[in-house]
Amino acid sequence: MDYDVVIVGGGAAGLSAALLLARSLRRVVVIDSGQPRNAPSSHVHGYLGRDGVLPDDLLAAGRSEIVGYGGEIVADRVVQIEQASTGFVLTTAGGPALSSRAVLVASGLRDVLPDIAGLAERWGNDVHHCPYCHGYEVRDTALGVIGGNNRPFSLHQASLLRQWSSDVVFFPNLIELTDDERDRLIAREVEIIDGAVAQVIVEDDRLQGVELADGRRVSRDTVFVGPTFVPHDELLTAAGCLTADDSAPNSGWVTTDRTGQTSIPGLFAAGNVVTESAQAIGAAGAGAATGIAINHYLLARD
């Protein structure tokens, strides 16, 4: 089937781009595998006009709007993107190949948590990573921050969360703090409890605290952790898109220009697949801007 634009990923970025393109009378289809990053979360916060909305409800409303403007939503998974004389050919896991003049990959990222018992099971409930998304709901309670593989993010969390609570404990876990880092946290009145973390304590389906490897238990109501952010960029890298070099802050991530276009003309990317910092509303904004850029790209070739 032939399209103006195929969008890979039906999260906030992909749906926002699809909405703008459908309203521009482009033939657009969203291919979505149905695995949103924020599925474990009970609510989406910081989304203007929809603060506190259920993640599924936000996506369902977006899909309905796109279909209302003539766009298509297909539940499937794209397994390959190939360049062709007319643009691109996309192979899917369960349907026919699709041809498209332009492609937007908005497939997001996955959060890789430290290997600590209980973290994954409580993820999105009382284990979080984003204070802006969940800090208000746990304000003035006992908070813990567990150091993970993402060292800068973990240290930033520990300092930042003091804005929401006066009772913040940082568990460096396997992070060896420098004297300067320790002094900065102490200056922020963050308590530091050293030692490897064994597990988070859960009783009656509620997080109760953190247990260290030596048996010490520290009562906490909510825990924040800095995951490693791994983009779902396999389609982009397999297609040959350039990535940032080792000296760049975003080393290893696929690079785009200011319009969202990758190093391959006509192949765009937006949202968390190319930036680790995009919240839902940020991803939506990036998707909308890239959707407009794609329409301009097509206009120049109409």
* Contact assessment for residue 135 and residue 201, using Cβ atoms and an 8 Å cutoff: no
CA distances from 113 to 2, 19, 34, 54, 180 (A): 40, 33, 21, 23, 26
The strand pairing partners of 112, in sequence order, are 228
Residue carrying the six token digits 């983009």: 231
**pLDDT tens digit sequence for 121-160:** 999 899 999 999 999 999 999 999 999 888 889 999 999 9
Q: Tokens for 9, please give them.
A: 């990923």
* Domains by residue range for the chain, with CATH: 2-110+229-300 (3.50.50.60), 114-225 (3.50.50.60)
Distances in whole angstroms, Cα of residue 131 to Cα of each of 13, 95, 112, 137, 213: 21, 40, 18, 9, 27
Segment 199-247, tens digit of pLDDT: 999 999 999 999 999 999 999 999 999 899 999 999 999 999 999 987 7
Q: Following DSSP, what letter does each residue of 74-101 receive, concatenated?
A: EE--EEEEEEETTEEEEEESSS--EEEE
What is the structure's pLDDT at 6? Answer: 99
What span, in angstroms and rounded, lies between the C-alpha atoms of 138 and 220? 11
- pLDDT class of 39 with cuts at 50, 70, 90: low
Q: Average pLDDT for residues 73-97, to the nearest whole number?
A: 95
| Percent of the chain predicted with pLDDT > 70 | 99
Mean pLDDT of 173-199: 96
43 pLDDT tier (thresholds 50, 70, 90): confident
**Could you tell me the two tokens for 246?**
């080792």
